[in-house]
Amino acid sequence: MGRHYLDHASTSPLRPEARDAMAAELAAFGGDPGRVYEEGRAVRARIEVARDQVAALLGVRPRQVVFTSSGTEAINAAVFGAARARPGGAIALASVEHSAVREASARAGPVIELPVDGDGRIEHGAIDRLLATPPDGGLALVHCQWANHEVATVQPVHEVVAACREAGVPVHVDGCAAVGHVPVDLGSVGADLASVSAHKLGGPPGVGALVVGAGSRFAPLLVGGSQERARRAGFENAPAIVGFGAVAEALCEEGRLEREADQARRHLDRLLEAALSVPGVRLLGDQRPEGRLPHLACLGIDGVEGEPVVIGLDRAGIAVHSGSACSSEALEPSPVLAAMGADAERSVRVSVGWSTADEDVAAFAAAFGPVVAGLRALAT
């Protein structure tokens, strides 16, 4: 029995462009890129090419890109730097933000929770009310993810950033779920800080980026070296960085991102057609295609918990994810779904990507209904 991978929102298989670039980098001698001798200069040159490539994908200048070990590190660095710049200031975020955002913020200072609607989107007017009556210690940072990693809802990023900039409040945008799946022009948005992860878009694991707004200054999270223009200490992971750059360059090819997004929508539409034909199954989050990422969907399933559905599909050769506490390392159900008023224990997330084939979609369509029906029969 073949396997059918439908959890690209967690991580996506390595693209050929990244694999080839990394193999070439690993075959080359990896001198210290911080040294002035020839071997060091050669590695430094390849890292800077990758920086140019990633910057082009994100619509920013190369010097704004700080390579990190992951999107999680980039988020933690953003929170740390913002909190150090405005000691005692509160950090505002919606509970639908990624756990890295929520936990890093809770450790850095007082947190103000922004309300969300039933689609998981920041409520209209919530930012204006916050900025009109800020807390006594002021605001150190406002978070606004580009789009949600569990239900795909796109957030009003441009509006949030514009309002905060007018009020002089820094903003961090978590772009990890969206970059590589839809056009993300961070340059036009103008956020002070943004985080990106390579493995979510078919790049290598172990590398991400913190994008620092033009003119923004922040205290580095990692110290002990002058790498990344003294903004992130530590010996650079050149093979991963070069792989990240190669994927970014590939996605900058004219029309490629749009073609991949169209393909993802077609695959996801077929998955949803099959899933929603099962009684008691519904789509969570924004129902409008224009209000969602094209590659992922979260399903609410009446009468059965998500974990046994994940296990049943796994036995059929299909990999999906659930927001239930038992289906991952989490100790509690998804706070994203809880904030939306949905039952996280009865949810399943499916997500497609660059390597998804029609056979993967057909396998899910054939297995999902029988798995749910079988579990419901056991429950009764």
Per-residue pLDDT tens for 38-76?
999 999 999 999 999 999 999 999 999 999 999 999 999
Q: Which residues fall within 8 angstroms of residue 79, CB to CB, at 6 or more apart? A: 91, 101, 104, 105, 108, 141, 172
How much is the average pLDDT of 9-30?
95
Residue 214: its pLDDT value, please? 83
CATH value of 4-13+255-379 in 1.10.760.10, 3.30.70.100, 3.40.630.30, 3.90.1150.10: 3.90.1150.10
Q: Is 298 a catalytic residue?
A: no
Residue 327: its pLDDT value, please? 47
Percent of the chain at pLDDT above 70?
97
Domain boundaries, the chain: 4-13+255-379, 16-251
How much is the average pLDDT of 367-378?
96
Q: Cα–Cα distance between 285 and 292 in angstroms, integer?
A: 8
pLDDT band per the 50, 70, 90 thresholds, residue 332: low
Q: Does the pLDDT of residue 1 top 80, yes or no?
A: no
SS3 11: coil
Q: Cα–Cα distance between 102 and 335 in angstroms, integer?
A: 10
C-alpha torsion sign, points 186, 191, 193, 197: negative
How much is the average pLDDT of 7-24?
97
This prediction has a pTM of: 0.95
Residue 330: its pLDDT value, please? 56
Residue corresponding to tokens 């078919």: 202
Per-residue pLDDT tens for 128-182?
999 999 999 999 999 999 999 999 999 999 999 999 999 999 999 999 999 999 9
Q: Cα–Cα distance between 151 and 299 in angstroms, integer?
A: 9
How much is the average pLDDT of 197-206?
98
Average confidence score pLDDT of the chain: 94
Per-residue pLDDT tens for 213-246?
987 888 999 999 999 999 999 999 999 999 999 9
Residue 30: its pLDDT value, please? 79
Per-residue pLDDT tens for 273-293?
999 999 999 999 999 999 999
Q: Does the pLDDT of residue 326 top 60, yes or no?
A: no
Query: With respect to CATH, is domain 16-251 assigned 3.40.50.150?
Result: no
Q: What is the DSSP string of 313-366?
A: HHHTTEE-B--SGGGSS-SS--HHHHHTT--GGGEEEEE--TT--HHHHHHHHH
| 73 token code pair | 């590190």
Q: Does the pLDDT of residue 208 top 90, yes or no?
A: yes
